[in-house]
Amino acid sequence: MAQYYRQHLFFCTNDRGEGADRPSCNQCGSAALREYAKTRVRELGLAGAGKVRVNTTGCLDRCEQGPVCVVYPEGIWYTYIDEEDVDEIIDSHIINGKPVERLIIQRRET
């Protein structure tokens, strides 16, 4: 079965609000950086059926390591702090297929 999109970038934009007992990604500007990623993917001609989709998601439960995005189908989780990090994820991982090691969130030990 063919996939509708080659890749998804899911950006957590959860916001627990001021005074919450845990951090949340949107307190670190994730909604604005998701919008930046979406615009950049579109400008590069990477968006659309058979290509790349940038999505908003609620809490991905990696808040203490956030802000967080995850790329599927690879299942690679990233943290990022600014547009330069998002550019690197798009340029290296999405365009060239090379994950950005310095931004990867390591798998939790169970």
**What architecture (CATH level 2) is domain 7-103?**
3-Layer(aba) Sandwich (3.40)
Domain residue extents for the chain: 7-103
Please tell me the pTM assigned to this model.
0.91
Q: Long-range contacts for 43-46 (Cβ within 8 Å, ≥24 apart)?
A: 44/90, 44/95, 46/90, 46/94, 46/95
Q: What is the pLDDT of residues 11-54, one digit of tens each?
A: 999 988 788 788 888 888 999 999 999 999 999 999 999 999 99
Assess whether pLDDT exceeds 70 at residue 110.
no
Assess whether pLDDT exceeds 80 at residue 60.
yes
Q: What is the pLDDT of residues 61-105, one digit of tens each?
A: 888 887 999 999 999 999 999 999 999 999 999 999 999 999 999
